[in-house]
């Protein structure tokens, strides 16, 4: 109930990350591309002495592509299985308290959102989609990517 | 309370681990007081702690063992086989219980009373098995330590890395501004301290390889007991230090190799006696550091690996063609044990021989940048060598770039670096695939830009070729735009999404703090479409065939010491080395040059009629290493002019000599070096005459190698060992058990006693005349 959520906007939609999963919010400047990696892997960046694998969330959701050429992007840093990732988001808005457990969403969502959805949570700011960070990092399944 | 229990568990584990070797040593020498004491201390500590924590079963067990051992200590009882086994069983049970406590479970299995009864004097214990460890005579005393979590260490380590980056940043800023000398001084000091700290913290990751070795005596003891064999294990080099992660990575491969050695290598006692060996098999495990590698040798004196059987198996399994099999060298045959699905064990045992095994061992070791080598002498044993890098995390690498992006290549895989437009390099495109020929060696060539799908503004011919030899594969050339620097990089594993590409081995940070991707050379080859595995075997054969048929008219134009232009066929030149003049001297009748650890006859200097060493000028001279495929000679010269082809008529020389003729090369006359004459002249007595008789001597017998070999060689025989492919005309065996069936009719057997038994054809080892005449007779009168 008292779960804290980080509200971010991805591809124009406001969604929530479980704030426990998010280590910090950073501004990325340099981005080193990783040739031949999955398209949603935008590249590598360094945070102090750690290497961050930068995930283009828009791409991961099949919503298009983030233009990383214009320099500084905001990103949420999460740790998964010992690796650090930076999830590029349009903007980071706020931290709010969840007022309900995630409940299934019966409305039809886009395919990309469907894959990463953990459910809908009630907050002071209305219902928000709770996003599974791991699914976002995993990106589209290989066959979907090929299509 | 939980903390206390966790400490108790950790303490027990540590003691159990340290005890593993002690117990087996104690078994071999039950009257060894020091070891008895350390085992007693263990059960005593466990008993004391259990009372405090209320683990009644654990307490009862340790109490019973303590009582029995106390009796031994007081001299009321003599430790014997059954007692040792009973104590071992108790210690094992304690280990299981401790594991259960750690997991927070109730330990249910087993009945302790049986174990406790077995401790009683005169009780029927499980049959004792014999195994022993070579004792160094003193019990291991633990150094003063504290326990730290690895996470904490990693945090400190990354803190230090951050510090290094911050220092670099500061250094850049300082360079940009006009700074004070005093500030610079202070900064220098800070830099030094940080570097020192980085070294120290890196060392905290190191662990003595002993941690890996302590468990071995016990494992070998149990294994040999199970298999009805007797094995003596000798462990050496436990104080070699290795990255703790690396220790974990080699634990499984090492265990597997040792299991194999005990199961397949060492024979049953009866078979060993039959083969003229001691009943007890010897397994020696040793570690040593060599440069930035750790070498772990596992040597057994068992029956060795039958290369022929391996080949038959591989042919039957369809992994190689029978035609190719016939051409394989002894070493290549042995390497077949690393092929998946091959096992020479006739039956599958519970220990090993399931066909999964050595291939997994090899891939595991190669994954951490190591190599497994195998060498076996049928009938005499097997040597396995694991070569692993000192640390997983810091590796020397070469940074290269495509366009504006930097990448790193592990230096260990790099054979050489050449410019694509160099004279010794030709690039061809065959069916769209790149093929590079570098000084006569042909190899697949791939462009890194193509593999990565990156745009590059550097034209093909201006690129640099990095010749790579991936672990377990064959050479290929990788074209990169630019070569930057050699750096020691701290490598971290990359995220799964990055690893999924198969191209990278990890990520690292450059000095300016930006991330760099580190390539996996084998992965790059695979993505680039180079077939490594197939090449591995095929390349050698093709190479041999093609050099025999293709007449190479490429010549290397050079200037001799006398200033003359000369040319030598490129195929003959193995490599060019620069040596100090002092390493050229007259020895044993001719001029010789020392190159590394070999001494070669030296040609090229005779044109001057003086020793090259007396010539003034430069301290260094250049030497061609010429090879006729088996023998080498050196040829000293002043400088290389160019790589050319012979396109004019060759005017032969009037007399045979160092120069076979003269031709116009590059518009000017040049003398062609007559390699045949050189080899004939300079190898002289060392060259093997066509009718020379071949004698095979066992390589592992010191007496034969040191005493007999010189006599045999002086008698004009070419001496080979078991691994040589030459077919021996005569074989000398040090004892009747060592007769190789293939050559039984040509084998001379030596004996130690002057007196021969009835019908004993063997020869007393100090009967020189008898030996030489027997050699002559056995080789069909061909000897001198």
CB contact (8 A) between residue B509 and residue A51 = yes
What does the alpha-carbon distance between residue B679 and residue B548 come to, in Å, rounded to a whole number? Answer: 18
Q: Which residues of A touch B164 (CB under 8 A)?
A: 49
Q: Residue A96 in 3-state DSSP?
A: strand
Name every residue whose Cβ is closer than 8 Å to that of residue B120 and which is 6 or more positions away in sequence: B68
CB contact (8 A) between residue A81 and residue B158 = no
Helix runs in A51-93, H state only? 57-60
The pair phi, psi for residue B341, each rounded to 5°, is: 80, 10
Query: Are residue B36 and residue B170 in the same domain, yes or no?
Result: no
What does the alpha-carbon distance between residue B325 and residue B308 come to, in Å, rounded to a whole number? Answer: 9
From B46, B77, B74, select the one nearest B62 (Cα to Cα): B46
What does the alpha-carbon distance between residue B231 and residue B441 come to, in Å, rounded to a whole number? Answer: 47
- Whether residue B67 lies inside any domain: the answer is yes
- Whether residue B155 lies inside any domain: the answer is yes
Query: Are residue B527 and residue B468 in the same domain, yes or no?
Result: yes
Looking at chain A, how many residues does it have?
A: 147
Contact at 8 Å (CB) between B232 and B134?
Answer: yes
Q: Which residues of B touch A53 (CB under 8 A)?
A: 494-495, 497-498
For residue B165, the chain A residue with the least C-alpha distance is A49
For residue B156, the chain A residue with the least C-alpha distance is A49
List residues in chain B touching A: CB distance below 8 A.
158, 161-162, 164-165, 405, 451-454, 492-498, 500-501, 503-504, 507-509, 513-517, 527
Kindly state the DSSP code that residue B265 receives in the 8-state scheme.
I
CA-based end-to-end distance of chain A: 40
From B612, B611, B633, select the one nearest B621 (Cα to Cα): B612
Contact at 8 Å (CB) between B45 and B38?
Answer: no
CB contact (8 A) between residue A53 and residue B161 = no
Tens-digit pLDDT profile for residues B518-550? 888 878 888 888 765 544 443 433 333 333 333
Tens-digit pLDDT profile for residues A81-130? 878 899 998 888 888 888 888 888 888 888 888 888 888 888 888 888 99
Q: Is B699 exposed, middle or buried (0-12, 13-18, 19+ CB in 10 A)?
A: middle
What does the alpha-carbon distance between residue B477 and residue B427 come to, in Å, rounded to a whole number? Answer: 10
Name every residue whose Cβ is closer than 8 Å to that of residue B66 and which is 6 or more positions away in sequence: B40, B43, B44, B47
What does the alpha-carbon distance between residue B256 and residue B258 come to, in Å, rounded to a whole number? Answer: 5
Residue-level pLDDT at B142: 54
Residue-level pLDDT at B347: 45
- Whether residue B137 lies inside any domain: the answer is no
Query: Are residue B425 and residue B557 in the same domain, yes or no?
Result: no
Domain ranges, residue B270: 210-389
CB contact (8 A) between residue B515 and residue A44 = yes
* DSSP strand pairing (B414-419 vs B464-468): antiparallel
Residue A135, pLDDT above cutoff 80: yes
Contact at 8 Å (CB) between B530 and B635?
Answer: no
- Domain end (from B513, B542, B571): B542
Residue-level pLDDT at A77: 92
From B339, B333, B373, B334, select the one nearest B359 (Cα to Cα): B339
What's the whole-model pTM score?
0.48
* Domains assigned to chain A: 4-138 (2.40.50.180)
From B711, B712, B675, select the one nearest B695 (Cα to Cα): B712
Q: Residue A131 in 3-state DSSP?
A: strand
Q: What is the CATH number of the domain that holds B81?
A: 1.20.120.160
- Domain end (from B666, B686, B706): B686
Contact at 8 Å (CB) between B22 and B138?
Answer: no
- Whether residue B142 lies inside any domain: the answer is no
Q: What is the CATH number of the domain that holds B261?
A: 3.30.565.10
Q: What is the strand order of the sheet B763-764 is part of? A: B717-720, B693-696, B730-733, B747-751, B763-764
Distances (CA, A) of B429 to B436, B443, B455, B531: 9, 12, 20, 16
- B355 conformational bin, left if phi > 0, alpha if psi -120 to 50, beta if neither: left
Question: How many separate domains does chain B show?
Answer: 6
For residue B492, the chain A residue with the least C-alpha distance is A51
Q: What is the strand order of the sheet B584-587 is part of? A: B573-580, B620-627, B632-637, B598-603, B590-595, B584-587
Name every residue whose Cβ is closer than 8 Å to that of residue B9 and which is 6 or more positions away in sequence: B98, B101, B102
What does the alpha-carbon distance between residue B335 and residue B358 come to, in Å, rounded to a whole number? Answer: 10
In DSSP notation, B393-409 reads: SEEEEEEEEETTEEEEE
CB contact (8 A) between residue A51 and residue B162 = no
CB contact (8 A) between residue A49 and residue B527 = no
Question: Shortest CB distance from B497 goes to which of A35, A38, A46?
Answer: A38
Residue predicted with more confidence, B165 or A77: A77
CA-based end-to-end distance of chain B: 85
- Whether residue B136 lies inside any domain: the answer is no
pLDDT band of A78, cuts 50, 70, 90: very high
CB contact (8 A) between residue B515 and residue A35 = no
- Whether residue B77 lies inside any domain: the answer is yes
The residues facing B663 across adjacent strands are: B650, B670
Q: Residue B471 in 3-state DSSP?
A: coil
Secondary structure E strands in B481-597: 482-492, 504-509, 515-519, 554-559, 565-569, 573-580, 584-587, 590-595
Q: Which residues of B touch A44 (CB under 8 A)?
A: 498, 507, 515, 517
Secondary structure E strands in B47-155: 131-133
Tokens at residue B102, please?
């750690």
Q: Residue B22 in 3-state DSSP?
A: helix
All residue ranges of chain B with pLDDT < 70 are: 1-2, 51-52, 107-110, 122-144, 291-292, 340-357, 391-394, 471-473, 511, 531-553, 606-619, 629, 647-648, 683-692, 725, 736-742, 756-759, 778-784
The pair phi, psi for residue B547, each rounded to 5°, is: -65, -25
What does the alpha-carbon distance between residue B620 and residue B507 come to, in Å, rounded to a whole number? Answer: 42
Question: Shortest CB distance from B515 goes to which of A35, A45, A83?
Answer: A45
Query: Are residue B413 and residue B459 in the same domain, yes or no?
Result: yes
Q: What is the CATH number of the domain that holds B748?
A: 3.40.50.2300
Contact at 8 Å (CB) between B389 and B412?
Answer: yes
Q: Which residues of B touch A32 (CB under 8 A)?
A: 405, 514-517
Query: Are residue B112 and residue B19 in the same domain, yes or no?
Result: yes
For residue B500, the chain A residue with the least C-alpha distance is A37
- Domain end (from B686, B709, B742): B686
- Whether residue B145 lies inside any domain: the answer is no
From B407, B416, B393, B367, select the one nearest B522 (Cα to Cα): B367
Secondary structure E strands in chain A: 4-10, 13-18, 22-28, 41-47, 50-56, 73-80, 83-89, 91-97, 117-123, 126-131
The pair phi, psi for residue B394, each rounded to 5°, is: -115, 115
Q: Which residues of A touch B493 (CB under 8 A)?
A: 82-83
What does the alpha-carbon distance between residue B86 and residue B128 come to, in Å, rounded to a whole number? Answer: 10
CB contact (8 A) between residue B165 and residue A83 = no
Q: Which residues of A touch B456 (CB under 8 A)?
A: none
Residue-level pLDDT at B227: 85
Query: Are residue B216 and residue B192 in the same domain, yes or no?
Result: no
ipTM value, please give it.
0.86
Query: Are residue B680 and residue B755 in the same domain, yes or no?
Result: no
Name every residue whose Cβ is closer than 8 Å to that of residue B232 and which is 6 or more positions away in sequence: B131, B132, B133, B134, B280, B281, B282, B283
Secondary structure E strands in B230-292: 231-236, 241-243, 281-290
Distances (CA, A) of B745 to B354, B525, B774: 37, 50, 13
Contact at 8 Å (CB) between B728 and B783?
Answer: no
Query: Are residue B325 and residue B471 in the same domain, yes or no?
Result: no
Query: Are residue B746 and residue B650 in the same domain, yes or no?
Result: no
What does the alpha-carbon distance between residue B481 and residue B458 come to, in Å, rounded to a whole number? Answer: 6
Q: Which residues of A touch B500 (CB under 8 A)?
A: 37-38
Distances (CA, A) of B386 to B213, B255, B257, B373: 14, 12, 10, 7
The pair phi, psi for residue B498, each rounded to 5°, is: -80, -40
What does the alpha-carbon distance between residue B693 and residue B718 come to, in Å, rounded to a whole number? Answer: 6
CB contact (8 A) between residue B513 and residue A53 = no
The residues facing A94 across adjacent strands are: A7
Query: Are residue B565 and residue B621 in the same domain, yes or no?
Result: yes
Tokens at residue B716, please?
């004009």
Query: Are residue B337 and residue B229 in the same domain, yes or no?
Result: yes
Contact at 8 Å (CB) between B481 and B405?
Answer: no
Contact at 8 Å (CB) between B621 and B561?
Answer: yes
Contact at 8 Å (CB) between B589 and B668?
Answer: no
Query: Are residue B517 and residue B643 in the same domain, yes or no?
Result: no
- Whether residue B412 lies inside any domain: the answer is yes
CB contact (8 A) between residue A53 and residue B453 = no
Q: What is the dihedral of CA B48, B50, B51, B54, to 10 degrees?
A: 170
CB contact (8 A) between residue B497 and residue A139 = yes
């Amino acid at each position: 109930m008292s779960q804290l959520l980080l509200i971010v906007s991805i591809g124009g939609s406001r969604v929530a990350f479980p704030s426990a999963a998010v280590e910090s919010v950073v501004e990325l400047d340099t981005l080193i591309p990783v040739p031949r990696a999955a398209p949603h892997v935008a590249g590598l960046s360094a945070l102090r002495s750690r290497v961050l694998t930068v995930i283009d969330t828009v791409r991961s959701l099949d919503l298009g592509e983030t233009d990383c050429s214009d320099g500084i992007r905001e990103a949420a840093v999460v740790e998964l299985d010992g690796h650090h990732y930076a999830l590029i988001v349009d903007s980071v808005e706020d931290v709010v308290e969840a007022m309900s457990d995630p409940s299934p969403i019966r409305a039809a969502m886009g395919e990309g959102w469907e894959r990463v959805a953990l459910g809908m949570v009630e907050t002071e700011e209305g219902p928000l989609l709770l996003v599974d960070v791991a699914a976002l990092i995993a990106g589209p399944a290989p066959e979907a990517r090929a299509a | 309370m939980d903390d206390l229990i966790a400490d108790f568990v950790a303490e027990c584990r540590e003691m159990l681990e340290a005890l593993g070797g002690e117990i087996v040593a104690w078994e071999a020498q039950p009257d060894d007081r020091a070891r008895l004491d350390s085992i007693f201390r263990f059960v005593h500590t466990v008993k004391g702690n259990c009372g405090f924590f209320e683990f009644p079963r654990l307490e009862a067990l340790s109490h019973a063992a303590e009582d029995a051992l106390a009796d031994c200590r007081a001299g009321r009882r003599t430790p014997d086989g059954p007692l040792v086994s009973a104590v071992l069983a108790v210690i094992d049970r304690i280990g299981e219980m401790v594991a259960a406590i750690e997991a927070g479970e109730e330990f249910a299995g087993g009945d302790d009373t049986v174990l406790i009864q077995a401790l009683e004097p005169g009780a029927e214990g499980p049959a004792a098995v014999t195994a022993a460890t070579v004792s160094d005579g003193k019990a291991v005393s633990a150094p003063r330590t504290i326990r730290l979590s690895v996470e904490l260490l990693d945090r400190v380590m990354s803190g230090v890395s951050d510090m290094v980056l911050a220092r670099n940043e500061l250094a850049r800023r300082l360079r940009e501004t006009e700074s004070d000398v005093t500030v610079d001084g202070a900064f220098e000091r800070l830099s030094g301290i940080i570097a020192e700290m980085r070294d120290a913290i890196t060392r905290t990751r190191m662990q003595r390889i002993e941690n890996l070795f302590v468990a071995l005596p016990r494992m070998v003891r149990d294994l040999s007991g199970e298999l009805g064999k007797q094995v003596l294990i000798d462990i050496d080099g436990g104080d070699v230090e290795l990255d703790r992660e690396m220790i974990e990575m080699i634990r499984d491969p090492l265990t597997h190799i040792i299991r194999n050695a005990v199961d397949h290598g060492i024979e049953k006692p009866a078979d060993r006696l039959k083969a003229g060996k001691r009943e007890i098999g010897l397994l020696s495990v040793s570690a040593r550091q060599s440069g930035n590698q750790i070498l772990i040798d596992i040597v057994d004196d068992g029956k060795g690996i039958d290369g022929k059987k391996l080949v038959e198996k591989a042919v039957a399994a369809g992994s190689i063609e029978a035609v190719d099999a016939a051409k394989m060298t002894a070493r290549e045959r042995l390497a077949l044990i690393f092929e998946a699905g091959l096992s020479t064990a006739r039956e599958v045992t519970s220990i090993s021989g399931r066909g999964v095994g050595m291939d997994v061992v090899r891939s595991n070791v190669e994954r951490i940048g190591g190599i497994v080598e195998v060498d076996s002498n049928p009938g005499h044993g097997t040597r396995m060598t694991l070569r692993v890098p000192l640390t997983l995390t810091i590796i020397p690498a070469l940074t290269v770039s495509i366009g504006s992006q930097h990448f790193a290549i592990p230096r260990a895989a790099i054979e050489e670096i050449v410019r694509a437009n160099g004279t010794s390099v030709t690039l061809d495109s065959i069916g769209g695939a790149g093929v590079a020929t570098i000084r006569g060696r042909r190899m697949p060539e791939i462009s890194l830009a193509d593999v990565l799908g990156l745009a590059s503004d550097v034209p093909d011919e201006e690129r640099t070729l990095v010749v790579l030899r991936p672990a377990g594969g064959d050479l290929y050339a990788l074209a990169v735009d630019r070569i930057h620097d050699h750096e020691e990089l701290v490598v971290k594993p990359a995220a799964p999404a990055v690893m999924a590409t198969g191209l990278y081995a990890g990520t690292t940070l450059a000095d300016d703090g930006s991330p760099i991707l580190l390539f996996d050379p084998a992965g790059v080859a695979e993505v680039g479409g180079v077939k490594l595995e197939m090449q591995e075997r095929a390349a050698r054969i093709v190479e041999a065939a093609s050099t025999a048929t293709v007449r190479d008219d490429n010549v290397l134009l050079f200037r001799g010491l006398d200033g003359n232009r000369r040319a030598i066929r490129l195929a003959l030149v193995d490599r060019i080395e620069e040596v100090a003049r002092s390493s050229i001297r007259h020895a044993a009748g001719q001029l010789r040059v020392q190159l590394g650890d070999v001494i070669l006859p030296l040609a090229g200097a005779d044109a001057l009629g003086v020793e090259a060493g007396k010539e003034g000028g430069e301290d260094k001279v250049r030497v061609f290493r010429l090879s006729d495929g088996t023998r080498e000679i050196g040829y000293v010269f002043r400088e290389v002019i160019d790589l050319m082809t012979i396109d004019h008529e060759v005017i032969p020389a009037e007399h045979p000599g160092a120069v076979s003729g003269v031709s116009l090369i590059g518009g000017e006359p040049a003398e062609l070096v007559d390699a045949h004459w050189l080899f004939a002249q300079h190898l002289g007595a060392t060259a093997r005459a066509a009718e020379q008789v071949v004698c095979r001597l066992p390589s592992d017998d010191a007496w034969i190698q040191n005493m007999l070999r010189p006599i045999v060689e002086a008698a004009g025989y070419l001496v080979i060992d078991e691994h040589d492919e030459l077919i021996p005309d005569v074989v000398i065996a040090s004892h009747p058990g060592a007769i190789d069936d293939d050559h039984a009719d040509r084998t001379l057997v030596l004996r130690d006693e002057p007196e021969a038994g009835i019908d004993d054809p063997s020869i007393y080892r100090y009967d020189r005349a008898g030996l030489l005449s027997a050699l002559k007779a056995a080789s069909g009168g061909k000897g001198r």
